[in-house]
Structure 1
Amino acid sequence: MDYPMSPAALPASLLADRRMAAALTRRDIGAVFQLAHDEAGISFNRLSEATAIKAERVGKLARGDGTVTTLQSLEKVCDGLRIPGSDLGLAARPWESSTPAYQRSDGDGDDPMKRRDVLRGALAAGLAGSGLAALTTTRHDIDAALAADATTADLGYWESTAERYGYGYHGQAPADVLSDLLADVDGMKPLLALPQSVKSRTQMCHVTGQMAGMVAIVLHDLGQHREAHGWFHTAARAAEESGDRLLHSWVLGREAMVPLNYGAPQAAAKLAEKARHLAGKQPSAAAALASAVASRAYAIGGHTDKALTFVADVETMSERLTPQQQADTWFGYPEQKHHVHLSQALTLLGETGRAYETQARALELSRAPSLMTRALIAIDEATCRAHDGDREQAARLAAQAYGELPDSYRTGLTRTRALALFRTLPRQTHGIDQLADALAMTG
């Protein structure tokens, strides 16, 4: 049996480090965690996921507060960090005799942690040049693998990885999430080229569709629309091969948000209608998303009747979704997300009374809305204020919402929305200079 690569596997170079060897001999797990964090750049959260030790305790152990002594916990650390059993005085671990091809190192260039570091470095340099090249190369490799006969493997790890990413940003900057996503996609990629049963191939294509779709979502949020379209295309291809019409519909619905948010509402409406057709008549998160995006696209295009038809459709459908379909993930359609979409549609339609209500409801439903969500809702409210004639309040609200965002969030979607409002306000509007200054910081 092949064992999947751990999300926190220690690189061979660190395992050979004398400090690490000494810590392992002493069974000083805190020192192991600190070295993994300092030398290999593995976050405490990732160490926590790999070892099933709470992140708070991982941090305390790394600071020298506490020890790990139980055999079960030591085995989890051993397996999660891919430490040979003998290094911790344990029996050889099951994965040691069956290290999968995509985890083996055939030299410095093939070490998975080094590949991850290279990808992180390229993306840290910005989504241009080497960063964009890394994205494109990985996507093209997946496209090539999808065209080949694929593999048998233990898919549990990658299915859980996709599920974990599905919970969204959770306070992380989009660029950081993109780095992690791309590194994991790169680690998953070789599985697509191995022989496998029809069932396993179907599962692998499903996970690939999810992962590629999430890469595309983050690229969209960062304003990289062309590359986002490329990843959505790959995701759609994988979803189609998996045979899951709802996943395929979800991919198209999410892709429709790219032209929707970047100036091509007619193209967005076509994609959204195709997604709605694929989803079928039964209520589903994918169908609700497609209708919500269609309502916004038609509202932008000035097709009020069509927009209101889709608003009514998604409102009816959202009340019939199961708790699982309403899960607060990128794949679900929770009530909070429903109101975020509805806020934009009603704002664009000029129905400010209903828009204010749905904006308040969106914030009320989320104890801690993401920075991006809160900013987008505030800009919607500002747009409604401008529509109602209170342009000074509109400028103030938008300047505050956009200007208080961290630098990594003042790009892509938030900038597009704030800039669209700015362009509608008369130059003599009191407070517009503050909005102009905020926009100029990322100009």
Structure 2
Amino acid sequence: MRAPQPFTGLPPEVLASPEFQRVCRERDFSRVFQLVKRRAGVYPSRIAALCGMTPSRVGEIMAGRRGLAHIDVIERVADGLRIPGALLGLAHRPWEVPAAPAAAPQGAGAAHTPVDEPSSAEKTVESAGIDDLLTLADGKVTRSTLMALRSSVQDYWRRDDEHGGASLRPAVVGHLRYVSQLMKGADGGLLHDLRSLAAELARLAGWAYFDARQYSTARTHFTQALRLAHCQDDHLFMANVLSCMSLQATYDGNPVDAVALACKAQDAARATGGHPLVMSMLHMREAFAQATLRDPLACHQAIDRSRDAFELSRNREAEAPSWVRYFDESKLIVDTGIALARIGEYARAEPLIAEGLRRESAAQQRGRAFHAFWLATTQLQQGKLDAACASAGLALEFAASLDSPRVAGHVREFHQHLAPYAREAPVIAFEQQMREVLA
């Protein structure tokens, strides 16, 4: 039997197809594999061999019974089928970097270069970093480049909601480096847009490391985002970054810093007119920090300001920046409940968290897992052991598809609170579920 011909990549017309580009952007691998089979003649068994999968797994993906979420598997698909990284929201793949040109044969008049001493051109290529090579390979930045990169950022945020941010770190940082290189050769309006994009990627990288509980690295990226936004004189985005840093300080046990950062974020937002939805979110950040400081009065005052600002925002929703529109009524309700739980007002907090959880979109897996654990905590603190374990079990169901050390931290913290009830049947059942989900 003849060996299969070496795979050299998908036909250009397949890669250029709007439908193929759309399903790649959406990471709908069922349709990706179907189009590869139908339009490129690459059958499932060959797809499996090229991508390091079993044929049965490829069949299940094509049938829609399985998906792909882990970044390393998605990278294997990109490399195996030679799908450019940008189409799948990845950094450029190593094979996309062009090989160095072959040396021209030396003629009689050619200058002699000793074999053990590279030419200056070769030295330049050897000393260039991978990011420089990628930029050289891509050439001029265009508006379509910006559109593709923005689409990748939107996709990263969607995946962060659905699966957590920890596994996104390599791809996001790769994109950040790439955009930083593109900025070196741009000017005018294009440089302005690239810098804004770099600021958003730096914030996203910070958030991904924050979700991975790597706070020092997260702070480095948040600081980079802050500097980029400052270069743009974009005070509203600076407020956004400062709010992320405030939340991280709350988690990191630095409530004094958290309050200072939240208040600074409010000042930055006011400098641009203080859009009420932005102010509502920032006041809630302050409420979290004040609750961690165990200051009930300041916490309640911040909650009241958040609610009042949210009411003002109802008539100006269309004007709100895209990055704050996640802060809707259900988020206001559930965050109010969490702030109250942080100051020990569990009976008031429980119905708010339950209502917010009921309203939340099914796509917000990580948020729902967090909120279900907070609901379980409020119930446990009121002596409702059965209800608490049931809510925690629901949280584990949400967490099953997540790669989020922050969520895992909530699991461990809640489990520690169950220690006095270790012999109770609901606790034993929860621990069994926890072992199955986190195995």
Q: Same fold (TM over 0.5)?
A: yes
| Equivalent position SS for 1:169 | helix
Return the letter of the residue paired with 2:149: W
1:253–1:286 contact (8 Å) kept in structure 2 = no
Return the letter of the residue paired with 2:203: G
| Equivalent position SS for 1:177 | helix
Q: Select 2:212's aligned residue among 213, 222, 225.
A: 222
Return the letter of the residue paired with 2:192: T
Partners of 1:279 and 1:186 in 2: how far apart? Answer: 28
Q: Does 1:286 align with 2:260?
A: no
Return the letter of the residue paired with 1:169: D
Residue deviations 1:88-144 (CA, integer Å, cap 9, x gap):
xxxxxxxxxxxxxxx984537xxxxxxxxxxxxxxxxxxxxxxxxxxxx99xx99xx
Q: Select 1:339's aligned residue among 314, 333, 343.
A: 333
1:273–1:294 contact (8 Å) kept in structure 2 = yes
Q: Which residue of 1 aligns with 2:375?
A: 381
Residue deviations 1:155-190 (CA, integer Å, cap 9, x gap):
444344434434453534534433332232232121
Q: Does 1:401 align with 2:395?
A: yes
Residue deviations 1:372-415 (CA, integer Å, cap 9, x gap):
11111111111111222224543453355237623753x43213
Residue deviations 1:283-328 (CA, integer Å, cap 9, x gap):
3443222211110111122100110111011111122223336688
1:336–1:362 contact (8 Å) kept in structure 2 = yes
Q: Select 2:355's aligned residue among 357, 361, 365.
A: 361
Q: Select 1:178's aligned residue among 169, 172, 177.
A: 169
Q: Which residue of 1 aligns with 2:121?
A: none
Partners of 2:267 and 2:171 in 1: how far apart? Answer: 33
Partners of 2:256 and 2:438 in 1: how far apart? Answer: 28
Deviation at 1:220, TM superposition (A): 1.1
Matches within 5 A, 1:144-155: 154=143, 155=146
Partners of 2:232 and 2:252 in 1: how far apart? Answer: 30
Deviation at 1:193, TM superposition (A): 1.6
Higher radius of gyration, 1 or 2: 2
CA gap of 1:333–1:168, structure 2 versus 1, over 3 A, is farther
1:296–1:348 contact (8 Å) kept in structure 2 = yes
Residue deviations 1:183-218 (CA, integer Å, cap 9, x gap):
322321212222512x44333222211111011112
CA gap of 1:399–1:221, structure 2 versus 1, over 3 A, is same
Q: Which residue of 2 aligns with 1:126?
A: none
Partners of 1:46 and 1:327 in 2: how far apart? Answer: 31
What is the aligned length? 342
Which aligned runs of 4 or more in structure 1 are off by greater than 6 angstroms?
50-56, 439-443
Deviation at 1:253, TM superposition (A): 0.1
Return the letter of the residue paired with 2:36: A
Q: Which residue of 2 aligns with 1:276?
A: 266
Q: Which residue of 2 aligns with 1:302?
A: 294
Q: Which residue of 1 aligns with 2:56?
A: none
2:259–2:289 contact (8 Å) kept in structure 1 = yes
Q: Which residue of 2 aligns with 1:3?
A: none
Return 5+ residue gaps in structure 1 as ranges.
1-16, 34-43, 68-79, 83-102, 109-136, 143-150
Partners of 1:51 and 1:294 in 2: how far apart? Answer: 37
Q: Select 2:36's aligned residue among 25, 39, 62.
A: 62
Partners of 1:337 and 1:45 in 2: how far apart? Answer: 35
Q: Does 1:412 align with 2:402?
A: no
Partners of 1:55 and 1:323 in 2: how far apart? Answer: 35
Q: Which residue of 2 aligns with 1:8?
A: none
Partners of 1:50 and 1:173 in 2: how far apart? Answer: 20
Return the letter of the residue paired with 2:379: R
Matches within 5 A, 1:310-349: 310-321=302-313, 322-324=316-318, 332-349=326-343
Return the letter of the residue paired with 1:63: K
| Equivalent position SS for 1:263 | coil
